[in-house]
């Protein structure tokens, strides 16, 4: 698959950010990665776990106190917007599920930074959030899978007509939608 010029630029900037982090230039890594992050909204791809890349850079740069503002004021809202844009054709619950998966990664990185900073109250708070969000994530997974199945079922009905008896639809679809027939 050929990647767009935007995706190639995102890749280049992400690699530059990593190189700066390896050189212990964490402020430079943050700045460079944020340039990549700002290009995500122009891409047709969803970058998933890559959103959290700069979180440890903040901690290693001595900017732990800025992390919550960065994550809650900028990163999580950006994740939600990008999910809605990239997965606009998917159900709302599936969009929420994708966003929540990345948000759990955000909280896990925050937890790790709190642990490194020896801020046990923050570490404990983030662990609780991870637990709560993980339960919500599993519930959303079930809901979104059922909604997706129902949407596919409706499409199949439009394609083959209503299912009344054996032989109306190919057997593969009968098996797939047996819970809805």
The 10s digit of each residue's pLDDT in 72-83 is: 999 999 999 999
pLDDT, averaged across the chain: 93
N residues, the chain: 181
C-alpha 162: how far from its chain's center?
Answer: 36
Lowest mean pLDDT among 13-17, 77-81, 90-94, 98-102: 90-94
Report pLDDT for 16.
97
Domains and CATH numbers, the chain: 5-176 (1.25.40)
Whether 98 shows a pLDDT value over 70: the answer reads: yes
- Residues 65 and 24: beta-carbon distance below 8 Å: no
Whether 58 shows a pLDDT value over 90: the answer reads: yes
Report pLDDT for 95.
93
* Distance in angstroms between the alpha carbons of the first and the last residue of the chain: 38
**β strands within the chain, DSSP E:** none
- Residues 20 and 12: beta-carbon distance below 8 Å: no
Question: What's the mean pLDDT in 59-63?
Answer: 97
Band of pLDDT at residue 2, cut at 50, 70 and 90: low
What percentage of residues in the chain have a pLDDT greater than 90?
81
pTM: 0.84
Whether 1 shows a pLDDT value over 70: the answer reads: no
Query: What CA–CA distance (Å, rounded) separates 23 from 15?
Result: 12
Question: What's the mean pLDDT in 8-24?
Answer: 97
Lowest mean pLDDT among 6-10, 22-26, 100-104, 168-172: 168-172
């Amino acid at each position: 698959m050929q990647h767009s010029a935007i995706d190639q630029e995102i890749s280049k900037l992400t690699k530059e950010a990593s190189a700066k982090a390896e050189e212990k230039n964490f402020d430079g890594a943050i700045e460079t990665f944020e340039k990549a992050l700002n290009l995500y909204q122009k891409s047709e791809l969803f970058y998933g776990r890559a959103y959290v890349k700069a979180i440890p850079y903040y901690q290693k740069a001595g900017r732990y106190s800025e992390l919550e503002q960065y994550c809650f004021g900028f990163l999580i809202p950006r994740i939600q917007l990008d999910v809605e844009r990239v997965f606009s054709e998917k159900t709302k619950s599936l969009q929420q599920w994708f966003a929540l998966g990345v948000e759990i990664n955000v909280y896990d990185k925050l937890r790790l930074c709190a642990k490194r900073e020896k801020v046990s109250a923050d570490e404990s708070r983030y662990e609780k959030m991870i637990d709560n969000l993980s339960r919500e994530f599993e519930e959303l997974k079930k809901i979104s899978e059922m909604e997706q199945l129902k949407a596919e079922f409706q499409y199949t009905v439009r394609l083959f007509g209503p299912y009344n008896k054996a032989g109306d639809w190919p057997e593969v679809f009968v098996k797939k939608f047996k819970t809805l027939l």
